[in-house]
Chain A
């Protein structure tokens, strides 16, 4: 048998669903099943069938079904709260509810259940957020993760945001509509079985979500990564330890895999250069790590620099960061081992590990200022 699927209105749009199924039947598509978003129809003769929805999450007892059947109403399908009944045009079936206030009671039950579900979702979400916040070291860390994700994998935060907005809007929309319907029924007005077709907002939200998922996958697919051994001298927007006067043989600290390297990453939002260099200098190790983000959205530069700072695993206490004034940079902070800075459309993170007694901390600030100046010169030369 020929079947087709179509998006149906939200569960709480009762009259809209009834009208939708009746219209499909008139076009020769008889309802066969209802899912979360889609309903299944089977091809038949066009019929003036009437559809009515009873809201009840419990299964109907047999005596209730028999009563409805004797009145001409057959249960076609059930999904969650939505029980869809059908009566043929000639069945002369009475309306399920001749007293609207009786139907109001069923809607009130649905709303109570709906509220409970919303509360449960919230109850599950809040500890999850709390854990995220506490693990991350404060609400700022959460925002930092979002900015970081936006730059490195733009599809993910976009999807998360849309999903969150969708859930909130759907919750509000459902609550408002059910409240309005209950008031109408309590006022003695029967449910409108043929309202103007609405209640399809979620269809567009689902389409947008699918599009965003595909976009996220596409963004990941088009993200370009290339890792190469580090050249003798800088050929990009970074400096080498030799530029700082630390000459020596380059090598990995722990394994050959962590040898000095330059990784270039292209995302839809940024061109990223990640540089890791370690040299053996005067019998000790010196390491320099540089992450340079050239952003296509200049306004993201400072938020990204702050996000990188908040995500630091080396300097966990943000109080350790001090303001750094460096010509050519709009914003800069430094701790003993790291500095973060932003200018125009660029955000950088620099990690410098020097042997224990190389210099006191205040001189390191000067070293960071020098590194930033050098990077700025290279950025200017590359722009």
Chain B
């Protein structure tokens, strides 16, 4: 994924959560919901990822009221997310026979 290296799980979820506009704390709640509480993202982790995604133009700043910034995924980010989704899907499909064995 650009200069940021392979997409990490944290990046994947941030991009996924930003398919609708949200601010930092809202994003953390959304990711928690999306993963059924499996991923509780820390503010340090989240802020680092947002900074990098902004730099890579995978997300954009939608709104800013000083204390809170609202972000949204860009077209470039959506393509990267979709590509990662397809890659993960292929991985899951490739491993489906494991389930069949059980």
Contact = CB atoms under 8 A, between A and B. Distances in A.
A103 B47 CA distance: 11
B25 A98 contact: no
Nearest to B49: A102
B42 A95 contact: yes
12 contacts: A63-B66, A66-B25, A66-B67, A67-B43, A71-B28, A73-B43, A96-B42, A96-B44, A97-B45, A99-B8, A102-B45, A102-B48
Contacts of B49: 102
Contacts of A97: 42, 44-45
B5 to A, nearest CB: 10
Contact of B43 (A62, A68, A106): A68
A59 interface: no
A319 to B, nearest CB: 61
Given A67-B24, A67-B25, A71-B28, A98 B45 contact: yes
Contacts of B41: 94, 98-99
A114 interface: no
A106 B49 CA distance: 12
A101 interface: yes
A216 B8 CA distance: 58
On chain A, which size bracket covers the interface?
A: 20 to 34
Interface in A103-124: 103, 105-106
A97 B39 CA distance: 12
Interface in B55-87: 64, 66-69
A96 B67 contact: no
A97 B10 CA distance: 11
A232 interface: no
Interface of A: 54, 62-64, 66-68, 70-71, 73, 94-99, 101-103, 105-106
Interface centre among A73, A98, A103 (most CB of B within 10 A): A98
B8 A96 contact: no
Contacts of A70: 24-25, 43
A66 B39 CA distance: 21
A64 B45 contact: no
A70 B39 CA distance: 18
Given A70-B25, A101-B8, A54 B67 contact: no
Contacts of B69: 63
A67 B64 CA distance: 13
Interface string B11-47: 0000000000000110010000000000111111111
A96 B40 CA distance: 10
A98 B24 contact: no
Nearest to A98: B42
